[in-house]
């Protein structure tokens, strides 16, 4: 029984990775930068996106796929910014899989986009194991969560190329050491690029948004 479960799991992952690879190629052929945002629930993924979209407006054609277990509240928040958003409700599953993303993508693939954000289901464990075909994986860590999270959830931080420390405005109220968080993350991934932001004050958001534009230009000139 144990062996069959393991084999099935491996097959599911293999099918996911093949589809993810096909999506990555399709998106690259259409000159798109696709960004997968990972974090615990409430770390500020949607809030950072809301701010980022304001900055990117008029510069890049941006769309968002919103992953949640239930409700389409986050997609509504994005649409309120005048940006195209497709909600993916997983109905209990704690992460997005490439097939869910492919289905949502179909709904907007008739138009041209420069950057596609995928907000993953809030969770630092399961989403780390599923490639969605993204070009850039970003993990968010908010000040109230504690600076020990990279060591506790290593896969999320090892597989992310960028890390955003969010809610920096709350630093005076928590025993959170950004230096410790960064050094723990770097132990897992020495080349991880770090941003510090606050969606409340706007601190660091412009730098992060500009880095996304730079990343896009690096890929497509």
Q: By CB under 5 A, what part of segment 31-70 binds Mg ion?
A: 45-46
- Which tokens is 117 given? 């954000």
Position of minimal CB gap to Mg ion: 46
Beta carbon of residue 46, minimum distance to ligand GDP (angstroms, whole number): 4
Query: Nearer Cβ to ligand GDP, position 19 or 104?
Result: 104
Residue 72: count of CB within 10 angstroms of its CB = 15
Q: Please, is 121 exposed, middle or buried when counting C-beta atoms within 10 Å of its C-beta (0-12, 13-18, 19+)?
A: buried
Q: Which stretch binds ligand GDP (CB under 6 A): 40-48, 55-63, 80-88, 124-132?
A: 40-48
Beta carbon of residue 217, minimum distance to ligand GDP (angstroms, whole number): 27
From the list ligand GDP, Mg ion, none, which binds 43 (C-beta under 5 to 8 Å, kind-based)? ligand GDP
Q: By CB under 6 A, what part of segment 41-100 binds ligand GDP?
A: 41-47
Rounded to 10 degrees, what is the CA torsion of 5, 89, 209, 181?
-50
Query: Nearer Cβ to ligand GDP, position 61 or 77?
Result: 77
Task: Give the 3-state DSSP-derived string for 128-185, with helices as H, strands as E and coil as C.
Answer: HHCCCCCCEEEEEEEHHHCCCHHHHCHHHHHCCCEEEEECHHHHHHCCCCHHHHHHHH
Q: Which stretch binds ligand GDP (CB under 6 A): 13-21, 96-104, 147-155, 194-202?
A: 194-202
Provide the β-strand partners of residue 72. none
CB 179 within 8 A of CB 148: no
What is the Cα–Cα distance from 201 to 130, expressed in whole angstroms?
33
Beta carbon of residue 41, minimum distance to ligand GDP (angstroms, whole number): 5
What is the Cα–Cα distance from 198 to 188, expressed in whole angstroms?
24
State which of residues 95, 149, 167, 189 lies at the interface with ligand GDP (CB under 6 A).
167
Site size for Mg ion (CB under 5 A): 3
Closest CA to 63 of 27, 18, 90: 27
State which of residues 16, 56, 122, 157 lies at the interface with ligand GDP (CB under 6 A).
122
Binding site for ligand GDP (CB under 6 A): 39, 41-47, 122, 166-167, 169-170, 198-200
Using CB under 5 A, list all residues that contact Mg ion. Answer: 45-46, 74
């Amino acid at each position: 029984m144990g062996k069959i479960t393991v084999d099935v799991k491996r097959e599911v992952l293999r099918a996911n990775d093949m589809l993810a690879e096909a999506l990555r190629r399709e998106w690259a052929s259409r000159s798109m930068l696709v960004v997968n945002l990972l974090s615990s629930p409430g770390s500020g993924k949607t809030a950072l996106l809301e701010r980022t979209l304001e900055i990117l407006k008029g510069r890049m054609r941006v769309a968002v796929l919103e992953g949640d277990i239930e409700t389409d509240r986050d997609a509504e928040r994005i649409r309120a910014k005048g940006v195209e958003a497709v909600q993916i409700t997983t109905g209990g599953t704690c992460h997005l899989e490439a097939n869910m993303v492919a289905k949502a993508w179909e709904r907007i693939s008739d138009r041209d986009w420069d950057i596609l954000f995928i907000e993953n289901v809030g969770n630092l464990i399961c989403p780390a194991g599923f490639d969605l075909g993204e070009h850039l994986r970003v993990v968010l860590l908010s000040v109230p969560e504690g600076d020990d999270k990279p060591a506790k959830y290593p896969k999320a931080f090892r597989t992310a190329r960028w890390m955003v420390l969010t809610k920096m405005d709350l630093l005076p109220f928590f025993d959170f050491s950004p230096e410790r968080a960064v050094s723990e993350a770097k132990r897992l991934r020495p080349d991880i690029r770090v941003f510090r932001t606050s969606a409340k004050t706007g601190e660091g958001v412009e730098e992060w948004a500009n880095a996304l534009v730079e990343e896009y230009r690096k890929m497509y000139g």
